[in-house]
Amino acid sequence: MIRAVLDTNVVVSSFLGLGSIPDQIIEAWRSQKFELCLSDLLYEEIRDVLRRPQIRKRIKAAVEDVALFLEQLPANSYICDQPLLIEPVVKEDPDDDVVLATAIAASADLIVSGDRHLLALTTHGRIPIVSPREFLLILREREREE
């Protein structure tokens, strides 16, 4: 099973457009098509962003659905130990380094992000960084092979 770290922008985007590619990725996670890897820091960032008033206004789901998701997320994901300390990589947006550190600590197979800074890296160590669209195609290809 693929082990993937989803950047916060992918998770948050899943609540902004039902049926969108990020939403389909979260549905694939719920259907156990891949293992989601998290760290405490990454989870806190996701939780905090989903609770921001400006984001809350744009979310297409009920407050209770978001709360339930935030309960299910750590319960149904691989939680790695605190991310390894890494040398700063994304100088333009140091918060992106949490995603990279989580992927290393979790021995993830992929990082999924819509962030241009991360996508520009293409890989971090041996870990490919792919767009949500690319990840969905990878999941569909795996499903066809099975």
What are the pLDDT digits (tens) for 109-132? 999 999 998 999 999 889 999 999
> Rounded to two decimals, what is the model's pTM?
0.91
Give the pairing type, strands 123-124 and 127-130: antiparallel
**In total, how many domains does the chain have?**
1
Check pLDDT > 60 for residue 71: yes
Between 6 and 90, the more confident residue is 6
Q: How much is the average pLDDT of 74-101?
A: 76
Q: Which domain CATH number covers 14?
A: 3.40.50.1010
Give the list of residues 6+ apart from residue 115 with CB closer than 8 angstroms, or none.
7, 9, 93, 96
Check pLDDT > 80 for residue 139: yes
Q: How much is the average pLDDT of 28-44?
A: 95
Strand, coil or helix: what is 78? strand
Domain, as residue range, for 11? 3-145
